[in-house]
Amino acid sequence: MRIDELRATLHEEAHDLGGTDPIGPQARTAAVAERVRAGRARRHTTRVAGAVLGVVVAVAGLVLGPTLVPGPAPELVGPEEPMVQGPPRLAGFPMPPRLTVADADYSYLRSEQVDQSREILRVAVAPGNHRQVVGWATSFGSLGRVTLSIDGEVVARTPTGAFEYGAALTPGKTHLVVLHVTNPVPGRQMGLAIYGPVTF
Amino acid sequence: MSTRRDARPDFEEFVVVCSDRLLRTAYLLTRDPALAEDLLQTALTKAWFAWRRLDEQPEPYVHTILVNTYATWWRRKWRGERPTGELPERGQVTGDGPETRHDLWVALGRLPRRQRAVVVLRFFDDLSEADTAEVLGCSVGTVKSQTSKALAKLRVDPALLAADERTRETT
């Protein structure tokens, strides 16, 4: 393979664009304008929600402040863990409470974890009304590769020792999600996590 | 976009003039025409929000957004690429040029995304090593090593080795 062959191939493939005709610049400009509009709407919603939250906190402080300040501070009781807990660790990796996939936000729903000596982790996901997203992880120091299948179709092969996500589950259908490690290491973990659309 | 309170005619002009070239870069990165269009529109949308802060040469900036979006995008878009341990069945050798091009295109598809990006920027967009490093947000040394690794990987790719063998057999 020579560099000039490489250049020629890149230019020819780029010229062909996979045998398709690209949309025109006017249509592209209109499509971008629509995305800008949607992006602005999202930003506006976030700002409004933040402002409303700020007002609520301020009002609560004004109302509850005077009644709380004079009293003696109550003794700390109960667990020292935060009241709102994040997702558990998956194969040692802290899972994010939220993911963004294809411009949509998903929040953690549940996860399953097994020892790699099992080689395969199968999780049946009940049909949802909305699209769900799968995350998967294998412990740091695992060997080989990990394969993710959905309904018998391999959708990802990734290196082990990482938390990955992105495989989507179509709504309205039960899915069988299978995680398989090529070189299982007993004592190391493998896990699957399901994220659903953010609802608030 | 011109109906908005802050219309940006220079942005629209930029889309008309530059987006075709950027689309081709996006296609070489994604290898899927629909994904390429999606990637380009995503990059242009991000650029639109930053347009007022850009200088008179916005193309390098948009280029950077495009490549970086691609680099961080694989998680949401990789389902279009079906990894397989086996090479697709080959047809008969009918000629040198198209066959070699096809083999090279297949081999390029097997490069890791970072190396593919370096190859596209260096050999399609004709960026210097320094400019490539700036677009990718890495050092010139990294660009050199990624280029070297990519070319080495292409040279030992099974598709290209098979093509070389065919060439030797026919000569």
Confidence grade of residue B144 (pLDDT, cut at 50, 70, 90): very high
Do A70 and A114 share a domain, yes or no? Answer: no
Say how many domains are in chain A.
Answer: 2
Do A101 and A181 share a domain, yes or no? Answer: yes
Helices (H), ranges, A1-24: 3-16
Q: Do B124 and A31 touch (CB under 8 A)?
A: no
Query: What 3-state DSSP class applies to B60?
Result: helix
- Say if A83 falls within a structural domain: no
Do A139 and A170 share a domain, yes or no? Answer: yes
- Say if A38 falls within a structural domain: yes
**Tokens 């959708």, residue?**
A155
What pTM was computed for the model? Answer: 0.53
Do A43 and A125 share a domain, yes or no? Answer: no
Measured between CB atoms, does A36 come within 8 Å of chain B? yes
For residues A180 and A189, give the distance between their C-alpha atoms in angstroms, rounded to a whole number.
11
Q: Do A13 and B41 touch (CB under 8 A)?
A: no
Measured between CA atoms, the residue of chain A closest to residue B72 is A101
Residue of B4, B27, B35 to mutate, interface with A, max A Cβ within 10 Å = B27
Do A100 and A71 share a domain, yes or no? Answer: no
- Say if A7 falls within a structural domain: yes
Residue of A7, A17, A32, A34 to mutate, interface with B, max B Cβ within 10 Å = A32
Touching A: B residues 7-66, CB under 8 Å: 12, 15-16, 19-20, 23-25, 27-28, 31-33, 36-37, 40-42, 44-45, 48-49
- Structural domains of chain B sorted by starting position, each given as residue range(s) with its CATH number in brackets: 9-80 (1.10.1740), 97-170 (1.10.10.10)
Q: Residue A159: what residue type?
A: P
- Say if A82 falls within a structural domain: no
Do A119 and A143 share a domain, yes or no? Answer: yes
Residue of A103, A102, A105, A169 lying closest to A132 (CA atoms): A169
Which residues on chain B are in Cβ contact (under 8 Å) with A150? none
Q: Do B49 and A36 touch (CB under 8 A)?
A: yes
Q: Which of A36-45, A107-116, B161-170 has the highest mean pLDDT?
A: A107-116
State yes or no: ipTM above 0.85. Answer: no
Do A18 and A117 share a domain, yes or no? Answer: no
- Say if A111 falls within a structural domain: yes
B89-137: per-residue pLDDT in tens? Answer: 444 444 455 667 788 898 998 898 889 999 999 999 999 999 999 888 8
Largest CA distance in chain B: 67
Do A45 and A121 share a domain, yes or no? Answer: no
Residue of A46, A45, A43, A37 lying closest to B7 (CA atoms): A37
Give pLDDT, residue A13: 92
- Say if A27 falls within a structural domain: yes
For residues A149 and A177, give the distance between their C-alpha atoms in angstroms, rounded to a whole number.
6
A63-115: per-residue pLDDT in tens? Answer: 665 555 555 544 544 444 444 456 788 888 888 888 888 888 888 888 889 99
Do A136 and A163 share a domain, yes or no? Answer: yes
Last residue of a domain, one of A21, A56, A77: A77
Q: Which of B79, B104, B124 sits opposite A14 (nearest CB)?
A: B124
Do A66 and A102 share a domain, yes or no? Answer: no
- Say if A113 falls within a structural domain: yes
DSSP 8-class letter at B156: T
- Say if A158 falls within a structural domain: yes
Do A26 and A101 share a domain, yes or no? Answer: no
Confidence grade of residue B168 (pLDDT, cut at 50, 70, 90): low
For residues A23 and B155, give the distance between their C-alpha atoms in angstroms, rounded to a whole number.
35
Q: Do A166 and B76 touch (CB under 8 A)?
A: yes
* pLDDT, greater one: A6 or A66: A6
Q: Which of A7, A36, A102 sits opposite B48 (nearest CB)?
A: A36
Do A73 and A93 share a domain, yes or no? Answer: no
Largest CA distance in chain A: 82
Measured between CB atoms, does A13 come within 8 Å of chain B? yes
Q: Do A35 and B41 touch (CB under 8 A)?
A: yes
Last residue of a domain, one of A43, A77, A111: A77
Domain of residue A174 covers 89-197
Measured between CB atoms, does A92 come within 8 Å of chain B? no
Q: Which of A9, A28, A156 sits opposite B19 (nearest CB)?
A: A28
